[in-house]
Chains A and B, each alone.
Chain A
Amino acid sequence: MNEFFSMGGYAAYVWTAYAVTAIGLAGLGLASWRRMRALESRADRLRAVRRSERGQA
């Protein structure tokens, strides 16, 4: 297990490269997901409001 983490003495390089990749992809994926959720729920709410307005008129 120790061998795995030490990466033959190159731990600093290998793990930093993987960490940068993980942070980059996870950050972008999460941000994209949250933006999609926020905008779609606002658009859906707007449509529901408009539909109910039309129903009253």
Chain B
Amino acid sequence: MHRFANPARFLRIARAVQPWTAAAMAVAFAVGLYYALVASPIDYLQRDTVRIMYVHVPAAWMALGAYSTIAIASLVSIVWRHPLADVCARAAAPIGAVFTAICLITGSFWGKPTWGTWWQWDARMTSVLVLLFVYLGYMALWSAFDDRQRAARAASILALVGAINLPIIKFSVDWWNTLHQPASVFRRGGPTIHPDMLVPLLVMALAYLLFFVTTLLMRMRAELAAQRLEVAAERRALALEGAE
């Protein structure tokens, strides 16, 4: 773990890995979209609207995945004061927020033709909306401080408190009576979804995961460059003060 603590080493690895994750993402999206839109069968009840599943469900998974990344990185930041952990957590937040927004919007466009409603204030939908607000609050908190260390500390604590929402989202469909269907992939006893639909779904999920990794690396590199510029500006300001 601490071998990656060195930002120079991280940058070297990120630059080497990124073209591969980007290329793999492009392949996964091409294959996944072909199956999702053309080769996969229609549902006997939902007809073609079932195709929305292939963009909606991976967005939901990655909304939780990105938040888990932030929560783990925040814990690492608090316990070990690992400098890259804060960079990682901050970089993951906008990606997670976009996944959550995509999840909510595509869910709405799936709900209207299948349930007859765009929105319902039930446990699953409300807890995912709360997740979006937690993401936005987390990002706002980061930019509310001038001092990076203090911003990191406050953001980490918010991220860990907000992690309570993750199991609530996951089990909301079991704990409460909701309009949303229960889990059909990650459940005890195995998936209840037919392989003809499960395989395209997993390929799309892989594409989303690779998008997350690629974008996270880009945002972490940007963040590290921004830090270098900040340090340089500070040094210059001090040097000018000394010259006077």
Contacts and interface: CB of A to CB of B under 8 A. Distances in A.
B98 A17 contact: no
Interface string B194-215: 0000000000000000010011
B110 interface: yes
Contacts, number: 89
Contact of B49 (A13, A20, A21, A35): A13
Interface in A10-57: 10, 13-14, 16-18, 20-21, 24-25, 28-29, 32-33, 35-36, 39-40, 42-43, 46-47, 50
Contact of A35 (B55, B59, B222): B222
Interface in B35-50: 37-38, 42, 47-49
A46 B226 CA distance: 12
B98 A25 contact: yes
Chain A facing B: main interface SS:
helix
B94 A28 contact: yes
Nearest to B52: A17
B225 A39 contact: yes
A20 B228 CA distance: 35
A40 B51 CA distance: 40
B105 A20 contact: yes
Category for how many chain A residues contact B: 20 to 34
A43 B228 contact: yes
Interface string B214-244: 1100110110011011001000000000000
A29 to B, nearest CB: 6
A20 B102 contact: yes
Contacts of B113: 10, 13
A14 B52 contact: yes
B109 interface: yes
B225 A36 contact: yes
Interface string B74-102: 00000000000000000000110010011
Interface of B: 37-38, 42, 47-49, 51-52, 55-56, 59, 94-95, 98, 101-102, 105-106, 109-110, 112-113, 211, 214-215, 218-219, 221-222, 225-226, 228-229, 232
21 contacts: A4-B37, A8-B48, A9-B48, A10-B49, A13-B49, A13-B113, A14-B49, A14-B109, A16-B109, A18-B37, A20-B105, A24-B102, A28-B94, A28-B215, A29-B215, A36-B221, A36-B222, A40-B222, A42-B229, A43-B228, A46-B228
Given A7-B48, A32-B222, A35-B219, 4 more contacts: A4-B38, A13-B109, A21-B59, A43-B228
